[in-house]
Amino acid sequence: MSAKIIQQGLQVLDIEANAILALKQRLDESFVNAVQIVQACKGKLIITGMGKSGQIARKLASTFSSTGTPAVYLHPAESAHGDLGIVVDGDVIIALSYGGESPELAPMLAFAVRKDIAVIAITGNVNSTLAKAAKAVLNVSVSAEACPLNLAPTASSTASLAMGDAIAMAVLNEKGFSPEDFAEFHPGGSLGYRLLTRVKDVMHTGEALPLVQLKTPVREVLSIMTHKNVRGASGVLDDKGDLVGVITDGDIRRRLEKSADPLTGVAKDLMTTNPRTIDANELAEKALFLMEQFRIQMVFVFDKLSSHPQNPVGILHIQDLLRSKIR
What confidence tier does 193 reach under pLDDT thresholds 50, 70, 90? low
Task: For domain 2-177, say whether CATH 3.40.50.10490 is its number.
Answer: yes
Nearest to 58 by CA among 190, 157, 147: 157
* Alpha-carbon distance values, 315 to 171, 202, 291 (Å): 41, 9, 13
What confidence tier does 316 reach under pLDDT thresholds 50, 70, 90? very high
Indicate the SS3 state at residue 212. strand
* Alpha-carbon distance values, 15 to 154, 158, 159, 198 (Å): 9, 10, 11, 46
Residue 54 has pLDDT above 70, yes or no: yes
Distance of CA 75 to the CA centre of its chain: 29
What CA–CA distance (Å, rounded) separates 5 from 9? 6
Domains 2-177 and 199-323 share a fold: no
**Picking from 73-77, 84-88, 259-263, which range would have the lowest pLDDT averaged per residue?**
259-263
Mean pLDDT, the chain, rounded, equals 92
* Alpha-carbon distance values, 219 to 158, 170, 233, 262, 267 (Å): 70, 62, 14, 9, 9
Beta carbons of 136 and 163 less than 8 angstroms apart: no
Beta carbons of 125 and 99 less than 8 angstroms apart: yes
Within 13 A of 291's CA, how many CA atoms are on the CB side?
A: 20
Tens digits of per-residue pLDDT, 144-185? 999 999 989 999 999 999 999 999 999 999 999 887 778 777
CATH of 199-323, one of 3.20.20.60, 3.40.50.1820, 3.40.720.10, 3.10.580.10: 3.10.580.10
What CA–CA distance (Å, rounded) separates 141 from 217? 80
CA dihedral 160, 163, 164, 169 (to 10 degrees): 160
**Picking from 42-56, 71-85, 214-228, 266-280, which range would have the lowest pLDDT averaged per residue?**
214-228
Where are the chain's structural domains?
2-177, 199-323
Residue 186 has pLDDT above 90, yes or no: no
Nearest to 58 by CA among 68, 77, 72, 40: 72
Beta carbons of 206 and 215 less than 8 angstroms apart: no
What CA–CA distance (Å, rounded) separates 158 from 164? 10
